[in-house]
Amino acid sequence: MKSHMLALLTFGICAAGLLVAQVYPHAFPREGAKKLFENDRVAAWEVTWKKNVLQPIHRHLYDMAGVYLRYGAINVTTPEGRVSPSRPFEVPRSYFQLRAITHKEEGVGGLDDPERLAIMLDLKEPEATGAVAKSDMPPAFPRDGAVMTLDNPRVRMWDYTWIVNQPVPMHIHERDSVEVYVTGGTLLRRTADGKEETRTVATKDARFVPQGRIDSEEALSGSPRAITIELK
């Protein structure tokens, strides 16, 4: 009897050790996720939660910020098997999640139901750098017409729509940032040295803007709208 109990205890300890030692893959890459760009600060992913496609349990190695661009129903399942269905929300929706979350996310629904779409950023540094570029120029944000949608120790996010033929005054980007476009259009950017760049953007485009850049923007056509994620 004692030997039987000892064997059960040993098995339980080994099983617990295996559970603790379980190593899960990072959230990305995975089916439905496409890397848009990567640098020292962020890796940007276009993520579609494919309906009725099995996904592995994964662990988020980094804090994550992003913008949901389209709602679609998903189920979120923990390693223990607890399933949490999603609730509808309006888009665009700003989002932030701390690292070390472990789960799987699977799109669900019928043939005519939409699939969830987002631009997600892995914040590669473990904490905020605190670096801010200073200038006599006004900062890029806040600005007239911009709405702050999220603010925490890692990121600050702004929702802004450019209006045709209304230039934004010259400004400095105090922090590294990522622009995630919600709607498209054509923008003219002017830099401090007088150079001009015309760029047509579309929904789900993403662009990294380095800290210290001085420029202004003007919409030439369409109604470009972006959520700008400032990295702290």
CATH number at 44 reads 2.60.120.10
Q: Are residues 115 and 36 in the same domain?
A: yes
Q: Are residues 28 and 119 in the same domain?
A: yes
For tokens 């640098």, the residue is 39
Q: Are residues 29 and 90 in the same domain?
A: yes
Question: What does the pLDDT read at residue 134?
Answer: 87
pTM above 0.85, yes or no: yes
Of the residues 89, 123, 157, which one is the last residue of a structural domain? 123
- Domain presence at residue 132: no
Q: What's the Rg (C-alpha) of the chain?
A: 22
User: Which domain does 203 fall in, by range?
Assistant: 147-231
- Domain presence at residue 87: yes
Domain count, the chain: 2
Is pLDDT above 90 for 4? Answer: no
Is pLDDT above 90 for 22? Answer: no
Q: Are residues 184 and 111 in the same domain?
A: no
Token output for 25: 């893959």
Token output for 109: 């629904």
What integer is the mean pLDDT of 196-223? 97
Q: What is the sign, positive or negative, of the torsion defined by CA atoms of 202, 204, 205, 211? A: positive
Q: Are residues 157 and 214 in the same domain?
A: yes
What integer is the mean pLDDT of 157-161? 98
- Domain presence at residue 55: yes
In this structure, of 1-5, 121-125, 141-145, 175-179, the range with the lowest mean pLDDT score is 1-5
- Domain presence at residue 46: yes
Is pLDDT above 80 for 10? Answer: no
pLDDT class of 59 with cuts at 50, 70, 90 = very high
End-to-end CA distance of the chain: 61
Q: Give tens-digit pLDDT for 94-108.
A: 999 999 999 999 999
Q: Are residues 118 and 28 in the same domain?
A: yes
Is pLDDT above 70 for 17? Answer: no
pLDDT class of 79 with cuts at 50, 70, 90 = very high
